[in-house]
Amino acid sequence: MTSDYAIKLAEELESASRLKAAQFLVTQRPWLDLYGVNVRPVTPFRSLSKPFVDTALLHRSLPDELLFEIFSKMSPYTLGRAACVCRKWRYTIRNPVFWRNACLRAWQLNGIVENCKILQLMFHGVWRKMWLLRPRLRTDGLYVSRNTYIRVGLAEGRTTNPVHIVCYYRYMRFYPSGRFLYKNSSQKVKDVAKYMNVRSARSESSDSVFSGQYTLSEDKVEAAILYPGLRPTVLRIRLRLRGTIQGANNRMDLISLVTSGVNDVEASGSDEDILGVVEGWQEDETHNPDIPAVSHKRGLTPFVFVPFDEVEKSVLNLPVEKMDYFVPG
């Protein structure tokens, strides 16, 4: 017994001495060398930059001018995703040239001079800050309002007092030029997005896609559409723009929806200035005694923004039996 314990103790002591003399391999962590190193952003002109050797193979193969040109072709939302790739791209995308062009396109109705005044007064001269904080209508998708109501059905056979859940959508697509498209339909988002364009609105078989005019003042949207026909009417829409997160602008609250009659002179005019026709009208005002002004109190569900690259997988495509009620948030 004693000899057995002595042998085991000696083996343990021998292994312990070996551990002390052993040289352990340390795992190499090259990213630790980047701590505290400021990566120089890309400049649009080589003459303004100092000689710099980048360790990344992509940056060594791609000239700074070409990288700058690629970023200039991207949309602001794509730039936001690209900024998450690496530190150099993030610093490069903060270049005010990208955000200045995006802001001038988004608020082109205000003009360059007015936009520059707003930039200096409210956003301290930072174009990117203006893009994130100033309310703007998004043009890379559709604003969709999903509305449901219950309709009494007809009794058939043993079924008594049947009711039906009816679902329909309001679609709006905005353009930076001050034009927008509007459609009421029971079709899903993925089907309507295919023909919500200017060409469909101008064609005779437009499938009830109407073109109108809008203005944006802070977060308030004023829009109007002229419905042609034997009894032409005008649809006046007032909305409030907001977002679930900063800079999202992905929600619109429907404040009022009013239809009114117009006279023959107003109906024969161009729909390019329909907002000028209804400017200053009261909510119950109509210019055709045969068509009274109607303020709609139903179907005022807030609009939800759906980008074009998400129309196929949006939850708004679900049928009524799978989603009888939708909370836009």
Q: What is the pLDDT of residues 56-102, one digit of tens each?
A: 556 666 777 888 888 888 888 888 888 888 877 888 888 888 888 88
> Are 125 and 147 contained in the same domain?
no
Average pLDDT over residues 124-133: 89
Q: Band of the pLDDT at 19, cuts 50, 70, 90?
A: very low
The answer to whether residues 163 and 310 belong to one domain is yes
Model confidence at 267: pLDDT above 60: yes
Tokens 């929806």 map to which residue?
257
Cα–Cα distance, 315 to 161 (Å, whole number) = 31
Confidence bin at 281 (pLDDT 50/70/90)? confident
> In which band, very low, low, confident or very high, does the pLDDT at 1 lie, cut at 50, 70 and 90?
very low
What average pLDDT does the structure give for the chain?
78
Are 209 and 199 in contact by the 8 Å Cβ rule? The answer is no
What per-residue confidence (pLDDT) applies to 4?
46
Does residue 264 sit within a domain?
Answer: yes
List, as one string, the DSSP characters of 194-251.
TS-SHHHHHSTT-SS-EEEEEEEETTEEEEEEEE-SSS-EEEEEEEEEE-SSTTT--E
Give per-residue pLDDT as tens, 149-183. 888 877 777 767 788 788 889 999 999 888 999 99
Tokens of 128: 């990117």
Q: Does residue 14 fall inside a structural domain?
A: no
pLDDT at 42: 53
DSSP symbol at 252: E
Q: What is the pLDDT of residue 3?
A: 45
Residue 16: inside a domain, yes or no?
no
Of 65-79, 107-121, 200-214, which gets the smallest average pLDDT? Answer: 200-214
User: Is the same domain home to 53 and 71?
Assistant: yes
Tokens standing for 318? Answer: 């679900």
Tell me if 27 is assigned to some domain: no
Residue 283's identity, in one-letter code, is E
Residues 206 and 109 grouped into a single domain: no
Range of the domain at 117: 104-134
In one-letter notation, the amino acid at residue 114 is: E
Residues 242 and 294 occupy one common structural domain? yes
Task: Enter the DSSP assignment of 145.
Answer: E
Residue 275 pLDDT grade (very low, low, confident, very high; cuts 50, 70, 90): confident
Amino acid at 262: V
Q: Is the pLDDT of residue 54 over 60?
A: no
Q: How far apart are alpha carbons 312 and 194 in whole angstroms?
A: 11
Q: Give the pLDDT band (50/70/90) at residue 241.
A: very high
Residues 43 and 167 in one domain: no
Q: Is the pLDDT at 24 greater than 70, yes or no?
A: no
pLDDT of residue 304: 92
Identify the pLDDT of residue 252. Answer: 92
Residues 237 and 128 in one domain: no
Strand partners, 145: 170
**Residue 87 or 236, more confident:** 236
For residues 275 and 74, the model is more confident at 74
For residues 112 and 210, membership in a common domain is answered with: no
Q: Are residues 187 and 46 in the same domain?
A: no
Residues 252 and 299 occupy one common structural domain: yes
- Show the tokens assigned to 268: 């024969």
pTM above 0.95, yes or no: no
Q: Is 329 part of a structural domain of the chain?
A: no
In a domain, 42, yes or no: yes
Domain assignment present for residue 84? The answer is: yes
Alpha-carbon gap, residue 133 to 265, rounded angstroms: 42
Of 36-45, 235-244, 249-258, 281-290, least confident by mean pLDDT is: 36-45
pLDDT at 37: 58
Domain boundary among 118, 134, 150: 134
- Percent of the chain whose predicted confidence (pLDDT) is above 70: 76
Q: Which of 119, 134, 149 is the last residue of a domain?
A: 134
Of 217, 220, 219, 262, residue with least CA distance to 237: 220
Domain tally for the chain? 3
119 shares a domain with 45: no
- Is there a single domain that holds both residue 46 and residue 179? no
Tell me whether residue 24 is in a domain. no
